Amino acid sequence: MRTIKYSILACLLVMVSASCKKWLDVNTDPDNPNNQSVLVQNRLPWIEHFYQYTSGVTNFRTSLQAGVYYTTSAAGNTFSTTWQCSNSNSTTPYQTWFVSVSSNVVDMYKTAQKQGAYHYMAVADVFHALGFMEMLDLYGEMPYTEAATGNPSPKPDDGKTIYNGCMSKLNEAISLFSRTQDAGSPQLAAGDLWNNGNVDKWLKLCWGLKARYMLKLSKKADLFNADSILYCLSKGPQSNADNTVGPGFNNSTVTDYLLGDPVVTNGNFDYAAYGSTNRISQFHYNLLTNMRGSGVVDPRMTKIVPASMANVRLDGSGKVASYTWNRSIGVDSYNPQDKNAPLSLANRLVKGGPTSIQTASYAAAATPIKYTITDATDRANFIAAQDAAGRTYTTSGNDVTVTYKAGSIFINSTNYLYAGDTVYVNMRSSALATSGIAAQPANDVNWYPSAAAYNAGVIGSTGSFQVRPVSDQEILTYHEMCFIKAEVYMRKGDAANAYTAYKAGIQAHLDMMQAKLTQWKAGGFNKNAAGVTIPDMEPMDQTAITDYLSSSAVAQGAGTLTMSDIMLQKYIAMGCSIENWNDMRRFNFSAGNVGSFGVVYPGYQRGPLFTGQAQLTGGSPTDVKYWMRRWALPPTYEINYNSINTLALNPHATDPNIWSMPIWWDCATDTEYYDYLKK
């Protein structure tokens, strides 16, 4: 890893004039910023910003691994569909952490220490723990004790060292937050975008992170301590008012100097919903529509699963006059499918290829598309679909020509396999800096396939609750704490307290979503310029919430509660978060061989397009190396430029199947872990 320091200072100079908060536009010397002149209260908001970017890409790509999303992007698809893990996924989180955050955390700590600004020192410790624990979760071994020291070839550390170092930093942060700052030192509120200088919330964040990180040790009989986790939870967030989130805005067209993405938006948006490549997976969709085999639709479903317009009729002025909502279905790349079955949604990827789902277009005028379909059964099924949709078409031999009327959302391709892909609505949202439509206002974050579609008021995607540009980026939440408590009590055999925490977690997430949806409605996000009401941006129906909580989709007593119930509700609530993949590793995915908990993630399995035999070499689900358990280190930084040190610690770091090697906390004992690192 090459030494890359202080690049954030360039951002302070370039972006100083157009940022979203007062803290982002003040500098001691805006013409000549340097490491000595940058005030800690000016450095902190940029650390928060760039950490959100690092965690955003991490959250998204690990959510592909956890089955939350499907993507057509080639590298990400290796996580969501083929499981042929690609090194192309490895670099960005690592690069953005070290380039934009890590060294600046070190400098902020040192500057704050000189000023007696103990709360800024504490915040630096928190970011140290957040970032390096995330790196441990991804890569297992990496430079830690020698990182950000100026050494161009730092030696890596093992996972145990990194884990203990991060926990130590949190302990120090708790101590520092409890101190009174020296007179004249900058107040935390002057630079804090996340908690507005609320030290109590920062302390609760520290304790909550300790609980989260201690839970990772659930496989380790010698280290896992349920009561210690419960103690940390008692000092962590106690309600949604204690949540730590990074606020997302849509009030600027400024893009990032280093990365080219919007400065003010939610970091998860920058990867999950910036472009048109991503969809809800069938695994995720099923949990929102059929939890516990109930057939009950979760009231959160229409806020998480995007929709587009369908059956649009335009008025004489070319504006939308009537329409229906086309709620997306999930892309199924996990379940066994019959490769010889006739054309159907069940084998769409098998017939078309792993990255073949198409993005919809808008028909500004009547648009004929000719499809050549040589298979008679496929042709008959295709014609039947046009009849059901009420479309005009003609046939000639193997050719079927369909006319998409003006106002239609359609797939602009002559390949008949793709024509039905409008059922897979992409998750894209629009920001001022990304929409390309000058007239689209800040409180309209829907995606329109073209300016013509926007002018007509025809929506191509309503987006998804957690990954809009104006969504909060969840750093630590009360609902996560509730689900951790439920799991810990379940492990202790205390089903009654586990059930109480389980119900509290579901309620907390519903309440958090409802508050945000209410805020969006008040801000006018629920209507576009054409006067269309967007239900996805409006509060949930309270009756639907009440009915869901009393339905069979939710365990109705401690006696029927299972670990799977807890973890699947947590999965929905966490959504775009690395913690779902972390949890799945702790339970060995759907192997069903952890304790007496059975299969915790039913339906998560290799699909028919699996080609990752070289990366995942285990022969069965109960084989550790059957699953995606870590990422390969970035080839450029730690393989090409630091290979001697890297391979000295882990000689398997360049092996194709490094992706299936468990990291330290994913092993039951130190002996198991260090055996993996032996030659």
Mean pLDDT is lowest, of 59-73, 304-318, 335-349, 404-418, for: 335-349
Mean pLDDT confidence for 340-356: 74
The per-residue pLDDT for range 439-481, each reduced to its tens digit, is: 999 999 999 999 999 999 999 999 999 999 999 999 999 999 9
Name the token pair of 150: 């100026």
What local confidence, expressed as pLDDT, does residue 30 receive? 55
Query: 231: how many CB neighbours lie within 10 A of its CB?
Result: 15
Identify the helix (H) or strand (E) that includes residue 307: strand 307-314
The class that CATH gives domain 7-62+82-255 is mainly alpha
**Pick from 42, 19, 32, 6: which is nearest to 186 by CA?**
42
Quote the CA–CA distance of 140 and 122 in Å, as a whole number.
Answer: 25
Name the token pair of 634: 């970035």
DSSP 333-367: -SS---TTSPS-GGGHHHHH-TT-PPPPEE-SS-E
**Is the confidence at residue 272, as pLDDT, over 60?**
yes
Report the side by side order of strands in the sheet with 399-404.
367-372, 399-404, 392-396
pLDDT band at 13 (very low <50, low <70, confident <90, very high): very low
User: Would you call 252 helix, strand, or coil by DSSP?
Assistant: coil
**Is the confidence at residue 436, as pLDDT, over 80?**
yes
Query: Which burial class, exposed, middle or buried, applies to 346 when counting CB atoms under 10 A from its CB (0-12, 13-18, 19+)?
Result: middle
Contacts of 464 (CB under 8 A, 6+ apart): 272, 273, 280, 303, 304, 305, 306, 427, 429
Judge contact between 638 and 156, C-beta under 8 A. yes
What local confidence, expressed as pLDDT, does residue 247 receive? 96
Quote the CA–CA distance of 385 and 376 in Å, as a whole number.
Answer: 14
3-state helix, strand, coil in the chain (%, to 5): 45, 10, 45
What local confidence, expressed as pLDDT, does residue 18 receive? 34
**Is the confidence at residue 32, as pLDDT, over 70?**
no
**Is the confidence at residue 434, as pLDDT, over 50?**
yes
Name the token pair of 543: 């009756």
What local confidence, expressed as pLDDT, does residue 335 receive? 77
Mean pLDDT confidence for 299-325: 97
**Pick from 422, 435, 308: which is nearest to 358 by CA?**
422
Quote the CA–CA distance of 161 and 34 in Å, as a whole number.
Answer: 33
Average pLDDT, the chain: 93
pLDDT band at 558 (very low <50, low <70, confident <90, very high): very high
**Is the confidence at residue 185, as pLDDT, over 80?**
yes
Name the token pair of 449: 């396939």
Judge contact between 588 and 667, C-beta under 8 A. no
Question: pTM for this structure?
Answer: 0.94
What local confidence, expressed as pLDDT, does residue 14 receive? 33
User: Would you call 289 helix, strand, or coil by DSSP?
Assistant: helix
pLDDT band at 273 (very low <50, low <70, confident <90, very high): very high
The per-residue pLDDT for range 85-114, each reduced to its tens digit, is: 999 999 999 999 998 999 899 999 999 999
Contacts of 259 (CB under 8 A, 6+ apart): 53, 96, 270
Mean pLDDT confidence for 328-351: 72
What local confidence, expressed as pLDDT, does residue 10 receive? 35
Could you identify the residue written with the tokens 């209507």?
527
pLDDT band at 72 (very low <50, low <70, confident <90, very high): very high
Mean pLDDT confidence for 310-332: 96
**Pick from 574, 340, 364: which is nearest to 449 by CA?**
364
Mean pLDDT confidence for 171-181: 98
Judge contact between 355 and 74, C-beta under 8 A. yes
pLDDT band at 677 (very low <50, low <70, confident <90, very high): very high
Domain ranges of the chain: 7-62+82-255, 306-327+344-465
Could you identify the residue written with the tokens 């092996």?
655
User: Would you call 410 helix, strand, or coil by DSSP?
Assistant: strand
Quote the CA–CA distance of 39 and 43 in Å, as a whole number.
Answer: 6
**Pick from 568, 562, 548: which is nearest to 499 by CA?**
562
What are the distances in angstroms from CA 1 to CA 8, 139, 266, 653?
18, 14, 28, 15
The per-residue pLDDT for range 54-70, each reduced to its tens digit, is: 999 999 999 999 999 99
What local confidence, expressed as pLDDT, does residue 15 receive? 35
Could you identify the residue written with the tokens 């910023």?
33
Judge contact between 621 and 606, C-beta under 8 A. no
What local confidence, expressed as pLDDT, does residue 637 receive? 78
pLDDT band at 17 (very low <50, low <70, confident <90, very high): very low
Mean pLDDT confidence for 659-669: 98
What local confidence, expressed as pLDDT, does residue 98 receive? 92
Could you identify the residue written with the tokens 């035999």?
613
Judge contact between 476 and 241, C-beta under 8 A. no
pLDDT band at 149 (very low <50, low <70, confident <90, very high): confident
pLDDT band at 23 (very low <50, low <70, confident <90, very high): very low
**Is the confidence at residue 338, as pLDDT, over 70?**
no
Contacts of 417 (CB under 8 A, 6+ apart): 343, 348, 351, 352, 356
Exposure string over 53-71, b if 16+ CB within 10 A, otherwise e: bbbbbbbbbbbbbbbbbbb
Mean pLDDT is lowest, of 144-158, 309-323, 339-353, 611-625, for: 339-353
What local confidence, expressed as pLDDT, does residue 151 receive? 85
The per-residue pLDDT for range 596-606, each reduced to its tens digit, is: 999 999 999 99
Compute the radius of gyration of the chain from its Cα atoms. 25
What local confidence, expressed as pLDDT, does residue 11 receive? 39
